Amino acid sequence: MNIEKIWTDWNNNDTFSGVFSVIGEEGIIFEKCCGCRNISEGLPNNRDTSFGIASGTKLFTGIAICKLIDAGKLSLDTKLWDILPYDLGKIDKRITVYHLLNHTSGIGDYLDEEMPDSYAHEQDLCNKYPVYLWERLDYYLKMITPLPPKFEPGARFSYSNAGYVMLGLVIEAVAGKQYQQFITDEIICPLGLKHTGFYRMDSLPANTAFGYFKDPASGLLRTNIFSLPVIGGSDGGLFTCAEDLDILWRSLFSGKVLSEKVLQLFLKPHIVIKESKSYGLGVYIYEKSNKFAYYAVGGDFGVDFFTVYIPTQKITVSSLGNTEVNTYPLLNTILLNI
């Protein structure tokens, strides 16, 4: 894979702002740090800059659920209604942890990405429920539990933010601590992820990138502080950097995070989305001609993200952007060339 050519062909107009990193067993193979983490002060992005990864957080949530399965505290067959101490309203009583993990629950989604113009819907939701109040996962219930099911549990794949919010609540019910603290205690700290955390949007630490998007009225760039939850949850909002993602992938595949049995369960293609693309228990799987890659993606106001691990080459490829430049074509090219 000629990664430099792939990068140059994609970023030929130099619009990317963020960090693009390719890391092998012996260190960095290729890296580009572009744009600014703080535009007004001209502070550049660098290899240790932390970026919001939006739905890339679901990778961490899936791993966390699997750690609880490994510990015998949970099973894939556990029903949502049997474990959560809440009135779950219109949520189907047959939904299990397995359905939630692989996006086949059919749960009504407060941020339904199958809706036309889901971005506008998200902004409307943030106006109705001010983002500075989104501190705890149980706050989301009022946005989710009144919604009717989209389909029968297990009927099909439908990417679900609400489903992963419920998984975060499952973690809290089983572990007896807030979701963010569980991720910190069980994944971030043990693996030594130094630039990863659930940072408050109104109190970002040093060397953390502001996310920028274009104001539809003025056309000017503005930060995403009023467009995303003040603290990330189990469906999105974690901050991390390229090196920490590499550590996570290598720790996962070397058996430092999950047992071999549960790791294979996590990585197994449980639901086919389309040709060459499947979903495991919190991770996307690309498979073509006996070639495999595992990846996570995320996008939101001022966030564009993907991370890929190619086990045969032991290479991690991550793109962390703090604008809305679309990196999906870059991801697809990388997958086609593994």
Q: According to the model, what pLDDT value does residue 286 have?
A: 97
User: Residue 19 and residue 204: Cα distance in Å, rounded?
Assistant: 18
Instruction: Decide if 182 contacts 173 (C-beta within 8 A).
Output: no
pLDDT band at 219 (very low <50, low <70, confident <90, very high): confident
| Average pLDDT of span 237-245 | 98
* Among the listed residues 191, 183, 175, the one whose alpha carbon sits nearest the alpha carbon of residue 254: 191
* Among the listed residues 101, 50, 53, the one whose alpha carbon sits nearest the alpha carbon of residue 76: 101
Q: According to the model, what pLDDT value does residue 289 have?
A: 85
Q: According to the model, what pLDDT value does residue 108 have?
A: 96
User: Residue 236 and residue 258: Cα distance in Å, rounded?
Assistant: 22
The 8 Å CB, 24+ separation contacts for 120-126 are: 122/227, 122/300, 122/301, 123/227, 123/301, 126/226, 126/227, 126/228
* Among the listed residues 271, 311, 273, 308, the one whose alpha carbon sits nearest the alpha carbon of residue 291: 311
User: Residue 318 and residue 295: Cα distance in Å, rounded?
Assistant: 9
Q: According to the model, what pLDDT value does residue 222 have?
A: 94
Instruction: Decide if 283 contacts 296 (C-beta within 8 A).
Output: yes
The H helix count followed by the E strand count for the chain is: 11, 14
Instruction: Decide if 54 contacts 298 (C-beta within 8 A).
Output: yes
What is the amino acid identity at position 64? Answer: A
User: Residue 275 and residue 288: Cα distance in Å, rounded?
Assistant: 9
Q: According to the model, what pLDDT value does residue 124 have?
A: 83
- Percent helix, strand and coil across the chain, each rounded to 5? 35, 20, 45
Lowest mean pLDDT among 174-178, 287-291, 325-329: 287-291
What is the amino acid identity at position 68? Answer: L
Q: What is the mean pLDDT of the chain?
A: 95
Share of the chain above pLDDT 90, in %: 88
Distances (CA, A) of 103 to 49, 54, 170, 293, 335: 31, 17, 15, 20, 22
Query: pLDDT tens, 148-201?
Result: 999 999 999 999 999 999 999 999 999 999 999 999 999 999 999 999 999 999
| Average pLDDT of span 84-103 | 97
- Whether 63 has a pLDDT exceeding 90, the answer reads yes
Q: Which overall architecture, per CATH, does domain 3-336 show? A: 3-Layer(aba) Sandwich (3.40)
Tokens, residue 253 = 């595949």
pTM of the model: 0.96
Beta carbons within 10 angstroms of residue 289's beta carbon: 6
User: Residue 65 and residue 101: Cα distance in Å, rounded?
Assistant: 9
Domain boundaries, the chain: 3-336
Beta carbons within 10 angstroms of residue 288's beta carbon: 13
Q: Where are the alpha helices (DSSP H) in the chain?
A: 3-10, 57-70, 80-83, 97-101, 118-128, 141-144, 161-175, 179-183, 242-253, 260-267, 328-336
Q: What is the DSSP string of 118-168?
A: HHHHHHHHHHHS-GGGTTSGGGGHHHHTTSPPSS-TTSS----HHHHHHHH
Query: pLDDT tens, 293-321?
Result: 999 999 999 999 999 999 999 999 999 99
Identify the helix (H) or strand (E) that includes residue 298: strand 291-300
Q: How many alpha carbons fall within 13 Å on the CB side of residue 188?
A: 19
Query: pLDDT tens, 100-149?
Result: 999 999 999 998 888 877 777 877 888 889 999 999 999 999 999 999 99
